Amino acid sequence: MNWKEFWNTHAAKPDALEQVGRIGGSVQQNTEYLQQYIRHIATLADIQPTHRVLDACCGNGLITAALQPYCSSIFGIDLSEKQIDQAVKNYPSVAFAVADITQKESLVSIENKTFDRILICFSFQYMETPHIGLRVINNLKEHLAPGGKIVLTDVPDSRYFFMYYNSWKKLAKLAISMARSKNEMGKFWSVGELNWIAQAAGLKGIPHKQPKQLPYSHYRTDYVFELI
C-alpha cells in the first residue's frame, strides 16, 4: 500500500476528522470524543508540563495541536506533504515538518533533537511488518531523552481480529483489497510481535488495555516502549 499517496488524497477532504480517517465505518467521531481521546493519550503517556513531545505520524495536526496545552513543546511530523500543509495552515502555533519515520535519513527535521515523549497515534498499523516496526522504533529511540517513552495508541490487536472483521462482507472486502495490495486497514499486531520489537530494540515494552469507553477498545490496544 502506498501510504503517502493514500494520506495525500485524504488531506483534500473537507472535514478535519475525515482527513485523518476518523469518520466512517461503525464509529462516528466528533469533538467530544476527540477531547476524551486527547485526555487518554496524555494520561497513558504521562505527559508533564515540562515535556518535549514528538507527534510522529501527526497527519493534519488535529491531535498535535490539542495536546499542546499538556506539554512544554510539541512537534509534529508526517510523511504526507498534503497533511502537513493542512497542519501548518490550521495550527500556526505548532511546528510541523515532512518526515517518514520508516526512513532514518528522512528525519533531518529532528536531527540533534530529543524528546521526553514520542507518540504514534492511530498509525502503527501502517508499519506493515515486524521488521518495519522495529526499524521505526529504532529510528525514534535515538531521539528519546533520558526517561523517555515511545507511546503507541490504537494499535489493531490480532486477538480481536474478528471483532473488527465480523462479517463475511468485511472479510471478502479484505481479501480483495489484499489481493490488490490496497488494504486500507493495515496490520493487526500481536502483543508477542510488539514484545519482540521491544526486546530487539533494547527497550522495556508494556501493553495497555484501552478503557472501555473508547470507541475502538473492542479491537484496539495501546503499547508503551520505555528506555531501560
Cell output for 100: 517518514
119 and 41 Cβ atoms separated by less than 8 Å:
yes
**Mean of the pLDDT values across residues 117-126?**
96
More confident residue, 149 or 228: 149
Sorted by where each begins, the domain ranges of the chain are 3-227
pLDDT (0 to 100) of residue 166: 86
Residue 205 has pLDDT above 80, yes or no: yes
Cell output for 47: 505527559
pLDDT (0 to 100) of residue 23: 61
pLDDT (tens digit per residue) in 8-49:
888 888 877 777 776 655 555 566 778 889 999 999 999 999
pLDDT (0 to 100) of residue 3: 87
Q: Give the CA angle between residues 16, 132, 126 to the nearest 5°.
A: 25
Residue 123 has pLDDT above 80, yes or no: yes
Residue 127 has a CB neighbour count (10 Å cut-off) of: 25
Residue 14 has a CB neighbour count (10 Å cut-off) of: 6
**Mean of the pLDDT values across residues 113-138?**
97
The architecture (CATH level 2) of 3-227 comes to 3-Layer(aba) Sandwich (3.40)
pLDDT (0 to 100) of residue 168: 84
pLDDT (tens digit per residue) in 56-98:
999 999 999 999 999 999 999 999 999 999 999 999 999 999 9
Beta strands in the chain (DSSP E): 52-56, 73-78, 95-98, 115-121, 144-156, 203-208, 220-227
pLDDT (0 to 100) of residue 15: 79
pLDDT (tens digit per residue) in 128-187:
999 999 999 999 999 999 999 999 999 999 999 998 888 888 878 877 877 777 777 899
pLDDT (0 to 100) of residue 27: 54
pLDDT (0 to 100) of residue 148: 98
pLDDT (0 to 100) of residue 7: 86
